[in-house]
Amino acid sequence: MHAFIPAEESSSFLVDELSRAGISARINEPFVLADTLPDPAILAFAHQTLPNVMLITEASINGWADHIIAAMLAALSDDQPWRLHLWPAYGEGKAGQHRCELILTALTERLKKRRRSLLRSWQKDSDITQSGEALVQAVLTGPDAGFVSATPITQELRAILSNHIAGYIPHAEDKAAPSRAFAKVIEAELRLGCQIERGQTCVDLGASPGSWSYVAIQRGAHVTAIDRSPLRDDLMRSPRLKFIQADAFKFKPETPVDWLICDIIAAPQRSIDLLLEWLREKQMRRFIVTLKFKGTDEYHLMDQLKQEAPPLCADFRLTRLCANKNEVTAFGLTAE
Ligand SMILES: C[S@@+](CC[C@H](N)C(=O)[O-])C[C@H]1O[C@@H](n2cnc3c(N)ncnc32)[C@H](O)[C@@H]1O
């Protein structure tokens, strides 16, 4: 069995999404459970996946540590680097957090005594996941119950495995940005493990008032911003910004750019067609594109993107970001 953590208020959309992939799933708050993983493993409405999850009923702290070690021994190869996400999904107070800390201490003690090779391959420092790593997840749904999952982070699974606990990324804050929409770019970069960098070229479609361009300019990128309306005055004066007042759907760069970032308000099918066209024509190396929905009856349109985009990409993601409203963001790296 596999457990999924839905994006905020998206459990039923996730069940529908799995159903469209031929997978029957059920809601078991705060999770969605299913017997099969989707192929391709892309789920717009899941923030995290616990593959091959074991349901645990366990009152003792040492017992929890033993269950985690057993799951690791079953799933990890020798010396495989691994990362642990251990968190409580019950109660509002600190009791769950405290229980997790006790389990962590017990786990560390047991590894020191009995499994020093596992202790050595434990990755604790950076939250950027390296290829070849495994993800070990233990979530307490109550003091004596929860789920444990251990899985290698394979190429096939990486779009549904987050390197953030429960797939949650807090909304970035920057009062100097023209709008809070800038948080979408930051979150997509964090999920992808790759960010806009100094000297890179960037096309921002539907750019006004300019918070996505603002992020790119702050990073030292050169931005071509296209919108019907100008961006905030200070951005319009930036030597790193070229503004073109035009229809963003008709714009194409003269040479391929490092980043396509696109937050146009448009029907989702138009944004899907735009992204696929840019991908087929190899106009960009990386991309972040928002799909904006009205209501809930057009989510099936994303199925086309799931089929057609991955073969054109080295890494393709589709996620309702924590910073998204009724939106889903497509982001990734194009094929070389
Ligand atoms: C949500 S706003 C973009 C916000 C921007 N990413 C930011 O963070 O400041 C959407 C923008 O798309 C622009 N837009 C919609 N249709 C467009 C089109 N066909 N061509 C150019 N811009 C368009 C709107 O003018 C609007 O400024």
279-305 residue pLDDT tens: 999 999 999 999 999 999 999 999 999
Please report the pLDDT score of residue 336 as a whole number.
Answer: 76
Residue 198 lies in a domain: yes
Region 173-193 average pLDDT = 95
Would 53 be classed as within a structural domain? yes
Question: How many domains, in total, are found in the chain?
Answer: 2
Q: How confident is the model at residue 332 (pLDDT cuts 50, 70, 90)?
A: very high
What is the spatial distance between Cα 274 and Cα 269, in angstroms, rounded to a whole number? Answer: 8
Confidence grade of residue 78 (pLDDT, cut at 50, 70, 90): confident
Whether residue 90 lies inside any domain: the answer is yes
**Is residue 246 over pLDDT 80?**
yes
Query: Which of the four pLDDT bands, split at 50, 70 and 90, describes residue 129?
Result: low
Which atom of ligand 1 sits closest to the CA of residue 229? 25
Q: Is 109 part of any domain? A: yes
Mean pLDDT of 237-243: 98
Do 31 and 135 reside in the same domain of the chain? yes
With a Cβ cut-off of 6 Å, ligand 1 is lined by: 178-179, 181-182, 206-212, 226-229, 247-249, 263-266
Return the bridge partners of 57, or none.
145
DSSP state letter for 301: G
Placement of tokens 């987050």 in the chain: 162
Neighbours of 36 (CB within 10 A): 13
Among 143, 167, 191, the domain-final residue is: 167
100 lies in the same domain as 62: yes
Ligand 1 centroid–CA 239 distance in Å is 21
Q: Is the pLDDT of residue 220 over 70?
A: yes
| One domain for residues 269 and 191 | yes
The rounded Å distance from CA 89 to ligand 1 centre is 38
Using the predicted structure, report yes or no on whether residue 183 has a pLDDT greater than 80: yes
Question: What residues form DSSP beta bridges with 334?
Answer: 313
- Asked if 13 and 155 sit in the same domain, the reply is yes
Span from the CA of 210 to the centroid of ligand 1 (angstroms): 9
Closest atom of ligand 1 relative to the 292 alpha carbon:
1
Burial 106-127 (b: 16+ CB within 10 A, else e): bbeebbeeeeeebeebeeeeee
For residues 16 and 151, membership in a common domain is answered with: yes
Closest atom, ligand 1, to C-alpha of 226: 21
The closest-lying atom of ligand 1 relative to the alpha carbon of residue 231 is 9
Per-residue pLDDT band for 315 (boundaries 50, 70, 90) equals very high
Q: Does residue 36 sit in the same domain as residue 127? A: yes
Same domain for 115 and 58, yes or no, is yes
Q: Is 292 a catalytic residue?
A: yes
Best substitution site from 263, 294, 321, 331 to test ligand 1's pocket, by max atoms within 8 Å of Cβ? 263
pLDDT at 303: 97
Q: What is the mean pLDDT of the chain?
A: 95
* In a shared domain, residues 163 and 303: no
H or E segment to which residue 247 belongs:
none
Single-letter amino acid code for the residue at 130: Q
| Same domain as 290, residue 198 | yes
In a domain, 13, yes or no: yes
Strands laid side by side in the 145-152 sheet: 54-57, 145-152, 134-142, 82-88
Q: What is the mean pLDDT of residues 14-18?
A: 98
132, part of any domain: yes
pLDDT value of residue 222:
98
Question: d(Cα 279, Cα 312) in Å, to the nearest integer?
Answer: 6
In a domain, 177, yes or no: no
Residue nearest to atom 27 of ligand 1 (CA): 208
- 108 Cα: distance to centroid of ligand 1 (angstroms): 50
Is-contact 135 83, C-beta < 8 A?
A: yes
Judge whether 191 lies within some domain. yes
The per-type count for the chain, helices as H runs and strands as E runs, is 9, 15
Same domain? For 87 and 34 the reply is: yes
Token pair in block for residue 238: 């930036």
Question: Positive or negative, the Cα torsion across 210, 211, 212, 216?
Answer: positive
Catalytic residue, from 94, 292, 294, 306: name it: 292
Centre of ligand 1 to C-alpha 184, Å, is 14
The two structure tokens encoding residue 202: 């960037």
Q: What's at 106, amino acid-wise?
A: A
Q: Are residues 225 and 159 in the same domain?
A: no
Q: Specify the DSSP class assigned to residue 264.
A: -
Domain that holds residue 135: 2-167
Choice from 171, 226, 232, 265 to test ligand 1 binding pocket (greatest atom count within 8 A of CB): 265
At residue 128, the pLDDT reads: 65
Confidence of residue 125 (pLDDT cuts 50, 70, 90): confident
Task: Decide if pLDDT at 161 tops 90.
Answer: yes
Q: Going edge to edge, which strands form the sheet with 46-50? A: 25-28, 31-34, 2-6, 46-50
Say if residue 5's pLDDT is above 90.
Answer: yes
Task: State the pLDDT at residue 145.
Answer: 96
Q: Which of 215, 196, 206 minimizes the C-alpha distance to 243?
A: 206
What's this model's pTM, rounded to 2 decimal places?
Answer: 0.96
CA distance 54 to 94: 25
